[in-house]
Structure 1
Amino acid sequence: MSINRSILSVPLRFSLLLLLFFQLSGTQVYAVNPDVSNSEEAIAAGKTVFNANCRTCHRLDSKNVGPALRGVTDRHSIEWTKKFIKNSQALIASGDAEAVAISSQFNNLVMPAHEFLSDTDLMNLLAYIEYGDKADPAAAAAPADGVQAGATGGSGIPSEYLTIILVVLVVVLLLILIVLGLIISILTKYLGSQKLDAADEEYINQKFDFKKLIKSDGFVVIITTLVIAFTVKTALDEILTIGVQQGYGPKQPIAFSHQLHAGQYEIECQYCHTGVEIGKSANIPSANICMNCHTHIQNVGGKEGISPEIAKIYAAVDNNQPIEWVRIHNLPDLSYFNHAQHVAVGGIECQTCHGPIQEMEVVYQHSALTMGWCIDCHRQTDINSKGNEYYDKLVQLHSNSKEALKVKDIGGLECAKCHY
């Protein structure tokens, strides 16, 4: 009895197939700390905390502005993790090796403090991180408070689709390998019960040869396909981040602290950024606006008694020279954005786009500010029409709909609204 050796040059065993699959797929299994609750209530509450405070910079299962969060209680202790979430900068300043290493890995980007989160909030957050959406489906949609929708700086759809496709391909590969393993096992048993010539019997009973496996055409095709797929996905992710400056926080000519002025002293944003309610631009404040306060504050003993940073303001005024602030939030020239339309008419808070500005010692770009990010916000943001005559007729026209009036319903998705 002869055997067609072209079916498979090397007999594979089921255990090897599984081992090969897990090696190629890079599957990671985390040991979740048993103190983290897996109750539905804790996970749901944690998801609310995550969406409100973490989702802009983090994803559960993929790297974004910050690291992927899933498995954090396996990599670090719960107490350390809570300290880092509440005030990462304090932990870094203390010289903690783990915190310093993470900060260095992500270019020393400043993570906002979350001192307002209670211990219960933090434990619920960890419950969601470890047991929440396994595929992180929420990463494809941004909430109405203006957070980023995807890790690629757009709506996140291209990267998410590629990830799903890769996962499906790996699963299909696993099923194929399992089926092949079962077929080989059945054929081997069947042929072993038949009368074979010496050559065939030797072929059936041959031992597994790893060198032949890695040189086989099938193995080369599998490895090449996976390498190409992951390379293409990585390249597309990097291409889609071009021009996205989320996390950008340059050094300014004067060390102005929003945490001190907007946070501790509760100075309204509109006091310094005078154009935000009346024009397209919010305006960078002139030195004269600074002097409205600093003529009387920190001026004991004349100019000699003021701090070096405030002295720079005096120098700008005395020399009639503008302060050369470094622009942080940049939109491409092809895009139109009007602050007054959003702030005065739409009633949008500054923090919706700029993040917790009152907590920032050094201001950085909090949101992605990409087209996908803006569109997702327009799709999900309800129109605040109460007491606003601007929307009266629009609300009347929308009265037959059961859903709330959203920005998308009044032209928020029209190309010409932002590109003309």
Structure 2
Amino acid sequence: MLSKRSLVGVRLNFHTLAVLFFMLIGTQAFAVDPEVDGSDEAVAAGKAVFNANCKTCHQLDSKLVGPALRGVSDRREISWIKAFIKNSTVLIASGDKQANEIYDEYNLQMPQHEFLSDDELNNLISYIEYGDVADPAAEAAAAGADGAAASGAGGGIPDEYLTVILVVLVVVLLLILVVLGLIISVLSKYLNKQELDEDDKEFVSQKFNLGKIIKSDGFVLIVTALVVALVAKTALDGLFSVGVQQGYAPKQPIAYSHALHAGTLEIECQYCHTGVEIGRSANIPSPNICMNCHTHVQNVQGKEGVSPEIQKIYDAVDNNKPIEWVRVHNLPDLAYFNHSQHVVVGEIECQTCHGPIQEMEVVGQHSALTMGWCIDCHRETEITTKGNAYYDKLVQIHTDSKDALKVKDIGGLECAKCHY
């Protein structure tokens, strides 16, 4: 067994080692740059530097245009952080692995900050690590409030659920009527066994009279209200459908098959509709474009001779007359729509508006193309901003929003956007 003196010596040695260990850890932690600390003065000064130079692209605890910054001193050396802040371009050009990984991930180069002094950089890192530490409980409460506000503000029942809700309500009402009928039947049987006055017996014993109910003022009023509501709804639906040609698929002068050309042969839409990338209208192809192929392709599915439909193209060219195609998609003159803006800038696929065009033997209007349909698209469609410097400033302005940048955020709901 160890003596009392030996035990005391072991304890002293343990305490000595512990003190030396923590001193060593502390030395390593602050040996990199002792000027980076969490003092109130340094954090306050660093916050001013952050707000002036970093706030538009970075947040401490969440990703913005650039990555979240808190904890960067645990992931990178202080000297590397300062070099990257001052001139990230130099680090990237030098082949620095960490700098190039950041550039590859965000596809952006950070502006140079050569004007920042070493003290300002120390204060900035102090703020990044120790400044504005959020209270988790407060954050959770704020998130709950925001969620409640959002659910209240965005309230609206989707149209597809309205029918289901109405059917459920009707079923519930019928069940209530059945239950009430059973209750009345049970009570009537019970009361008939009791000693009642003549008037009460007459009332309890009365029979169900359907004719009397139908002739009653209440029943007539309910039926009249339902008929009026049904007529009004039918009239409103008819008014809202004026000018809507969804499903319209007219017969064309030539039986041109999109299923064959765009589907089987995989010809790009832009080859025939040449204006779709350069102007407002997609334009209908001229017979000359058809002849680029049909000078050589004269029949269909191996049949001998020129097919009757292709012969119509030859006739149009020989007689120098246009093919009188029937317009399928018609927008009112008061609405402005630009194909190039949507196809080139917005990178919208043709099928988004025109449906599975590559499967259509006869082209028909797939979408409603109403004002509400366009507005819903502008509300839901996200803007592809990566790699497009045109949107950089808009992304910065949009930083306070939790939602992705959408068409509605860049004027997509402004009246003059489509009506001018």
TM-score in same-fold range (> 0.5): yes
2:250 aligned residue: 250
What per-residue deviation string (whole Å, max 9, x for no partner) do you get for residues 2-37 of structure 1?
A: xxxxxxxxxxxxxxxxxxxxxxxxxxxxxxxxxxxx
Q: What SS does the aligned partner of 1:275 have?
A: helix
Cα RMSD after superposing both structures: 3.1
User: Structure 1 residues 192, 213: CA separation in 2 closer, same or farther (over 3 Å shift)?
Assistant: farther
Give the counterpart letter for 1:241 in structure 2.
S
Match of residue 405 from structure 1? 405
Which residue number corresponds to residue 149 of structure 1? none
- The more displaced of 366-375 and 386-395 is 386-395
Q: Is the CA contact (8 Å cut-off) linking 1:383 and 1:407 kept in structure 2?
A: yes
Task: Flag the 1:235–1:194 CA change in 2: closer, same or farther, 3 A.
Answer: farther
- Which has the larger Rg? 2
Paired letter, 1:263: G
Aligned partners of 1:346, 1:390: CA distance in 2, in Å?
12
Aligned residue number for residue 196 of structure 1: 197
Structure 2 residue aligned with 1:212: 212
Cα distance, 1:167 vs structure 2: 7.0
How far the C-alpha of 1:166 sits from its partner, in A, is: 8.8
Deviations 1:107-126 (A, max 9, x none): xxxxxxxxxxxxxxxxxxxx
CA, structure 1 residues 394+201, in 2 after alignment: closer, same or farther (shift >3 Å)?
Answer: same
Aligned 8 A contact 2:299 2:310 in 1: no
1:270-328 Cα distance to aligned partner (Å, 9 max, x none): 0110110110000111111111111121279xxx9211111111111111111100000
2:283 match: 283
**Structure 1 residues 308 and 248: alpha-carbon distance in aligned structure 2, compared to 1, 3 A threshold:** same
Is residue 259–residue 359 contact of structure 2 (8 Å, CA) maintained in 1?
A: yes
- Work out whether residues 281 and 338 of structure 1, in 8 Å CA contact, stay in contact via their aligned partners in 2: yes
C-alpha distance 264-400 of structure 1, shift in aligned 2 (>3 A): same
Q: What is the aligned partner in structure 2 of residue 234 from structure 1?
A: 234
* 2:342–2:348 contact (8 Å) kept in structure 1: yes
Matched-pair contact (CA < 8 Å) for 1:378–1:408 = yes
**2:298 alignment partner AA:** Q
CA distance in 1, matches of 2:397, 2:311: 57
> Is contact 2:257-2:361 (8 Å) kept?
yes
Q: Distance in 2 between matches of 1:327 and 1:248?
A: 10
1:147-186 equivalences under 5 Å are 160=162
Supply the distance in 2 between the matched residues of 1:174 and 1:229 (Cα, whole angstroms): 24
Q: Deviations over 1:134-184 (max 9, x none)?
A: xxx65469xxxxxxxxxxxxxxxxxx59x9679768866975896698579
What are the equivalent positions in structure 2 for 1:338-349 lying under 5 Å apart? Answer: 338-349=338-349
Tell me, in whole angstroms, the C-alpha distance in 2 between the residues paired with 1:400 and 1:195: 76
Q: Which amino acid aligns with 1:395?
A: V
Q: In structure 2, what is the Cα distance between the partners aligned to 1:180 and 1:260?
A: 64
In structure 2, relative to structure 1, the CA distance for the partners of 1:178 and 1:232 (3 Å cut) is farther
Distance change >3 Å, CA 177–CA 237, structure 1 → 2: farther
Q: Report the identity percentage.
A: 68
Aligned residues: 261
- Residue deviations 1:216-248 (CA, integer Å, cap 9, x gap): 223223322333333322332232222111111
Instruction: Trace 1:312-391 onto structure 2 (pairs within 5 A).
Output: 312-391=312-391
Structure 2 partner of 1:417: 417
Q: For 2:168 and 2:335, how far apart are their aligned partners in 1?
A: 36
Shift of 1:212: 1.7
Gap regions ≥5 residues in structure 2: 1-156
**Per-residue deviation, 1:399:** 3.0
Distance 1:165 1:232 in 2: 18
2:141 aligned residue: none
Q: Is the 8 A contact 2:287 2:323 kept in 1?
A: yes
C-alpha change, 1:217 and 1:171, in structure 2 (3 Å) is farther
The change in CA–CA distance for 1:207 and 1:176 in structure 2 (over 3 A counts) is closer
Task: Say whether the 8 Å CA contact 2:247–2:364 is kept in structure 1.
Answer: yes
Task: Please tell me the residue identity of whatever aligns with 1:196.
Answer: D
Summarize the Cα distance change of 1:313–1:219 in structure 2 as closer, same or farther, 3 Å threshold: same
Measure, in 2, the Cα distance between the counterparts of 1:336 and 1:346.
Answer: 16
- TM-score, with structure 2 as normaliser: 0.55
Q: CA deviation at 1:387?
A: 2.4
1:295 has 2:295 as partner: yes
**Relative to total residues, which structure has the larger helix share, 1 or 2?**
2
Alpha-carbon distance, 1:194 to partner? 5.3
Q: Find the aligned partners of 1:394 and 1:291 in 2 and give their Cα distance.
A: 46
CA distance in 2, matches of 1:341, 1:140: 31
Instruction: Give the drift of 1:398.
Output: 1.7
The more displaced of 182-191 and 304-313 is: 182-191
The residue identity in structure 1 corresponding to 2:230 is F
Query: 2: CA distance between counterparts of 1:354 and 1:396?
Result: 34
What is the rounded CA distance, in whole Å, between the counterparts of 2:189 and 2:213 in structure 1?
A: 18
> Matched residue of 2:276: which SS?
coil
CA contact 1:192–1:204 (8 Å) conserved in 2: no
Residue aligning to 1:37: none
Contact 2:188 2:204 in 1 (8 A): no
The 8 Å contact of residues 245 and 365 in structure 2, kept in 1 or not, is answered as yes
Q: Secondary structure in 2 aligned to 1:398?
A: helix
In 2, the alpha carbon distance for the partners of 1:414 and 1:282 equals 24
Q: 1:324 is paired with a residue of what secondary structure?
A: coil
CA distance in 1, matches of 2:187, 2:221: 25
- Residue 341 of structure 1 deviates from its aligned partner by 0.6
Whichever residue aligns with residue 197 of structure 1, its letter is: E
CA distance in 2 between partners of 1:244 and 1:207 (Å): 54
C-alpha separation between the residues in 2 aligned to 1:234 and 1:272?
Answer: 42
Query: Structure 2 vs 1, CA of residues 355 and 273 (structure 1 numbering), >3 Å: closer, same or farther?
Result: same
For 1:264, the equivalent position in structure 2 comes to 264
Q: Which has the higher contact order (CA 8 A, sep 6+)?
A: 1
Q: Measure, in 1, the Cα distance between the counterparts of 2:178 and 2:232.
A: 24
Q: Determine helix, strand or coil for the equivalent of 2:399.
A: coil
The amino acid across from 1:288 in the alignment is N
